[in-house]
Amino acid sequence: MSEEEVIKSARKFAVKNALDYGKARPDNVINKLFVEVKSAKELGISRIKEIVEEVVGEVNAMPVDQLRKEAESYTYPERPERVGLPKLDWADGVAINTRFAPNPSGFLHIGHAKVALLCDEYAKMYSGSFYVRFEDTDPKTKPPIPEAYKAIIDDLNWLGCSISGVFRQSERMELYYLYAKRLIDEGSAYVCTCEQETMKKNREEGTECACRNRADDDNIREWEAMLSTYGEGEAVLRLKTDMKHPNPSVRDWVMMRIIDAEHPITKNKYRVWPLYNFASAVDDHEMKISLVIRGIEHEVNGVKQSFFYKAIGAKQPHTIEVGVLKVRGTLAHKSDIIKAIKSGELSGWDDPRTPTVAGFRNNGFKAAAIREYVISSGIGKNPSYLDLAKLTAFGRKQEKW
Ligand SMILES: [Zn+2]
């Protein structure tokens, strides 16, 4: 092995690396070089680093057409098969449908992109459908931003997701009413008119309230009143779960409540809105979702929803709970971003300093790099902070973060 051989190999992989990712990186080149020139280590790692850094510097100064021309003169090893996401042992040859359920109260954050990409990947792996379902049934505390609906779809398309269908929960209200009515008729749900404080106390103590044991006819009348005359905070619809469940939040959780706020899509058509667990479970069942991927913070929601599936006699979809992908810095939360946009500190949701998908795109990152990053991070339950160096290694056009 000669030094010349090492320089040649470094040059060859630096050219490919620069073409693949816009800029060659010494680490990537060294890894490839060691595979090709097995005895390179004899030169000593510090000498190899020197060589590679010099070569990378030269290559990164070359124009793209020259890089392409030079690449044609080399033979590159076949790309090894990508180590993808873990196989699902329960899959059993059937198509797997997944869904991504964003809230259109903001643009797509990189953390949401993780869940979306995992859903899209699994649907592709198992020839199923990948649906997008907007969770927009809380016009008061999470008011939808009309332009976010389109922006989120644009971002998902840019990320390379194959969307089989797009749904808005605010347009599926009649379906939730149907399920609510059915569960009331069957004695599995009831209208509770207790004061919020009483409900909280009962729940903590595991005590059933009088509403729970009301006669069926009275319960139906109360439901009709909830739809027409009761005001916000005066009545809620609860699912009968288990008032002695070890987790008090699971005890007869609230399915629907009254909200007096105009919705940007349905305006004032509806006052009784479903809460997350009810709407989500109805939709997952109706849309034949077989795999639900969601953040670990939703773990208890899986337990809550199991009572809904029991009540309707259906099978609960398989669930994978994944660790949240977070971003360091002052713009970590949606509320921080909204504040910074309002104050003029950021130019918008797609400002390159924003940890939204649009921000990353405007900052020069490639969709393929974000996907590779997510897949390589896997489906573990531990939260993680975005490793910018690692993402950059997967490919980015420019360094201006
Ligand atoms: Zn009650």
The string of DSSP codes covering 16-50 is: HHHHHHSS--HHHHHHHHHHHSGGGGGG-HHHHHH
234-284 residue pLDDT tens: 999 999 999 999 999 999 999 999 999 999 999 999 999 999 999 999 999
Domain boundaries, the chain: 3-72, 98-137+147-169+295-394, 174-278
Place of tokens 């667990």: 277
**How much distance in Å is there from the Cα of 198 to the middle of ligand 1?**
8
Of residues 68 and 163, more confidently modeled = 163
Query: According to the model, what pLDDT value does residue 194 have?
Result: 97
Please compute the mean of the pLDDT values over residues 384-398 and round it to a whole number: 77
158-203 residue pLDDT tens: 999 999 999 999 999 999 999 999 999 999 999 999 999 999 999 9
Q: Which of 41-45, 153-157, 204-208, 272-276 has the lowest mean pLDDT?
A: 41-45
Could you give the CA distance from residue 374 to residue 367 in angstroms, rounded to a whole number? 11
Place of tokens 């939260």: 383
**How much distance in Å is there from the Cα of 192 to the middle of ligand 1?**
4
**How much distance in Å is there from the Cα of 143 to the middle of ligand 1?**
28
**How much distance in Å is there from the Cα of 228 to the middle of ligand 1?**
19
- pTM for the complete prediction? 0.77
pLDDT surpassing 70 at residue 398: no
**How much distance in Å is there from the Cα of 210 to the middle of ligand 1?**
6
**How much distance in Å is there from the Cα of 126 to the middle of ligand 1?**
45
The CATH architecture annotation of domain 174-278 reads Alpha-Beta Complex (3.90)
290-327 residue pLDDT tens: 999 999 888 899 999 999 999 999 999 999 999 999 88
Other CB atoms within 10 Å distance of the CB of residue 362: 16
Superfamily holding 98-137+147-169+295-394:
HUPs (3.40.50.620)
**How much distance in Å is there from the Cα of 86 to the middle of ligand 1?**
46
pLDDT surpassing 70 at residue 368: yes
**How much distance in Å is there from the Cα of 280 to the middle of ligand 1?**
24
Total residue length of the chain = 401
- Which residues neighbour 390 within 8 Å (Cβ) at sequence distance 6 or greater? 373
**How much distance in Å is there from the Cα of 194 to the middle of ligand 1?**
4
**How much distance in Å is there from the Cα of 195 to the middle of ligand 1?**
8
CATH topology identical between 98-137+147-169+295-394 and 174-278: no
Cβ burial 112-130 (10 Å sphere, 16+ → b, else e): bbbbbbbbbbbbbebebbb
Is residue 70 classed as helix, strand or coil in its secondary structure? Answer: helix
